[in-house]
A and B are shown apart, each in its own frame.
Chain A
């Protein structure tokens, strides 16, 4: 970790990682505990927890996973399900006393699934708020403009503070970072604009801005720059632009190397140019990174 003030929510306890999937399938709680410890040792402030779709059917297994993690580390957990019922099982299991009294985090709340907030009756929690969709006259709509993301974030944050007693620094706005290689609509640019405008909003001072970085480098070629895989360098390029705007928390792997890139770095320059292009021109520009390599 070489970016000051950038916090990490460790994302490894997720069956999307093959090794973790095997641990979950084989009920290898020792393996999961080791994974939890390794993430804490490398700086995670929360540990994200999901056992995949199994969690919808097997609350027992989900509870056992949570208990075994809490037996190994005192870092608070982040429950990665968008469903009230599953989150209810998680919150009934989580013991704040084992995390130094710290609240768990919910990943994630959205305007379209506010019923999750009923669960505050079980125990108080902090929230990741997905700002990439909104409720518009009862219907779910995707937010594809910066103003809509900002407005949704602000409306929801106000509601969380006024109606549910949260403080702004209990709230993490997830701006949804898109995959660069398929971004023909300028969504990465939009996310950066949203981070900037939320970061500048005096009414939202203290709120956190979070995002998963796996998407941004998804499906990029396996070429390397300075001995680092392009996908990881691209994550750093994103952070180099986003952190000064107020992006302060990564949902990611704590032992990946995140760093601020120098302004003349070819990947950062490409990133800056690509996000200002739309449609296939963005693809043409991006492709230059490896087509001439």
Chain B
């Protein structure tokens, strides 16, 4: 790995926002392969994710690192599309996400959507107060690998349970993994709702998806 590549990774990992974006831009300007560049950004993001998991970083660092990635992608992605004829924009898999009906909270869901997106997943965000049927229709249409149900209020646990039962009744349950998150979720709630897993933060949503989708591949 060249010194420049390592420097970009370090700048992202150490939260040097301005310098990271400046270096990425100058690398792209001098003809650096945009696909490779995004790979380095992912590597930087991985370091941030690890520091988050080890308790060295917190939510603001995750979001700021995500923002760096978004900024750099804005410049890199059109270059990739110019230079390649399709196939480049491959995603790791599709995730449908939404806040279950009866609950209008969206901050946590938006962060999870953002984190999954910058980690290479195609995310379909159904919004808040999502009726059971909307989840079913969307699963039929997009055939996701993972469905994420979000909710902050305690009444959301019932809506999650109802949504998962309806997915089962529609014969779609076996093809997907379901994760829940939002408020005070734990293994008891997971069991109550019938979900496969629960997540306490946006990084755990990313880890769950990567575990499941790798295992299926």
Contact = CB atoms under 8 A, between A and B. Distances in A.
Interface of A: 15-16, 21, 50, 52-53, 56, 80-83, 132-133, 140-142, 178-179, 181-185, 187, 219-222, 280, 283-284, 286-287, 290-291
Contacts of A16: 184
A17 to B, nearest CB: 10
Given A16-B184, A53-B157, A219-B201, A287 B64 contact: yes
Contacts of B129: 140
B199 to A, nearest CB: 13
20 contacts: A52-B154, A53-B154, A53-B157, A53-B188, A80-B154, A140-B129, A178-B107, A179-B107, A181-B59, A182-B107, A184-B63, A219-B59, A220-B58, A221-B55, A283-B59, A283-B64, A286-B60, A287-B15, A287-B58, A290-B58
Contacts of B60: 181, 283-284, 286-287
A199 to B, nearest CB: 25
Given A82-B153, A287-B61, A185 B107 contact: yes
Given A15-B188, A133-B104, 11 more contacts: A53-B188, A83-B155, A140-B104, A181-B59, A182-B111, A184-B107, A219-B59, A220-B58, A283-B63, A284-B64, A290-B58
B76 interface: no
B58 A219 contact: yes
Contacts of B105: 142
Most chain A beta-carbon neighbours within 10 Å: one of B58, B60, B108: B60
A222 B105 CA distance: 26
B192 interface: yes
Given A140-B129, A280-B63, A287-B64, A181 B107 contact: no
Given A284-B60, A287-B64, A142 B157 contact: no
Contacts, number: 70
Given A181-B60, A182-B111, A56 B201 contact: no
Interface residues of B, number: 28
A198 to B, nearest CB: 20
Contacts of A291: 15
A205 B83 CA distance: 67
B189 interface: yes
B38 interface: no
B67 interface: yes
Interface in B60-95: 60-61, 63-64, 67
Nearest to A187: B107
Contacts of B58: 181, 219-221, 287, 290
B165 interface: no
B2 to A, nearest CB: 28
A291 B58 CA distance: 10
Interface string B150-169: 00011101100000000000
